[in-house]
Amino acid sequence: MPKTANPPPSAALAPASPQSDAGVLVRPAVEEDDAWVDYLQALAFGPGRFAKAAFRVRERFPIDRSLSLIAEIEGARVSSVWMTPISVSGIDGYLLGPLATDPAYRNRGAGKKLVREVTRMALERGQGQFVLLVGDAPYYGPLGFVPTRLGAIVFPAPVDPARVLVHCSDPALAHRLGGPIAAFGARDEGSGADWTDSTDKSSG
């Protein structure tokens, strides 16, 4: 394994935990889920969600609907995740989120199972090399997400740079990624650069 100093290497995807997510079924989202996902995201993130950095990215670059997943428990929809194809530094990858679980079904393993599944599915395609997100390290760290270089990746709205985390198969990549978020497939590092860096707190 190549040597890296800081941030630490991306761990392999943590194995599923049959005990903690027993009974959680993951399936692709379909059109009939759209209204429920809207409702869930509103419930989880509130009316201010559209101003958040990750939401602003998704306004500009469409989500990949084939990487939209739903978790169910006992036949009820409980959790949802989306992925947006992006590139940074001319390297293709994905922005994960929003991830949300119905408050009535939290702490039953649905959120982490969706993160594991959607990350595995995206990277197994072999077209993107990383999965980026804005979120809490204590939640995503055990799933193999590590910090990026502080402030290196430029979002379209303020983010807390300590919450910009990435999962990549090449551990050195977490250090190398920098610059504005651009379209998947963009090879010009400046092609997404009509927004500027800042360091306030935001997520989603």
Q: Which residues bind ligand COA (CB under 6 A)?
A: 44, 79, 97, 99-101, 106-112, 135-136, 138-139, 203-204
Closest distance to ligand COA from the beta carbon of 34 (Å): 18
Instruction: Give residues with Cβ within 8 angstroms of 11, minimum separation 6.
Output: 144, 146
Query: Which of residues 109 and 144 has its CB atom nearest to ligand COA in the complex?
Result: 109
Closest distance to ligand COA from the beta carbon of 18 (Å): 13
Taking the C-alpha atoms of residue 82 and residue 97, their distance in angstroms, rounded to an integer, is: 5
Q: Which residue is nearest to ligand COA (CB)?
A: 111
Instruction: Give residues with Cβ within 8 angstroms of 106, minimum separation 6.
Output: none
Query: Which of residues 58 and 112 has its CB atom nearest to ligand COA in the complex?
Result: 112
Is the Cβ–Cβ distance between 152 and 142 less than 8 Å?
Answer: no
Query: Which of residues 16 and 152 has its CB atom nearest to ligand COA in the complex?
Result: 16
Closest distance to ligand COA from the beta carbon of 57 (Å): 13
Instruction: Give residues with Cβ within 8 angstroms of 167, minimum separation 6.
Output: 10, 13, 119, 123, 130, 131, 143, 144, 145, 146
Closest distance to ligand COA from the beta carbon of 144 (Å): 14
Query: Which of residues 132 and 174 has its CB atom nearest to ligand COA in the complex?
Result: 132
Closest distance to ligand COA from the beta carbon of 90 (Å): 26
Query: Which of residues 34 and 136 has its CB atom nearest to ligand COA in the complex?
Result: 136
Residue 153 identity: I
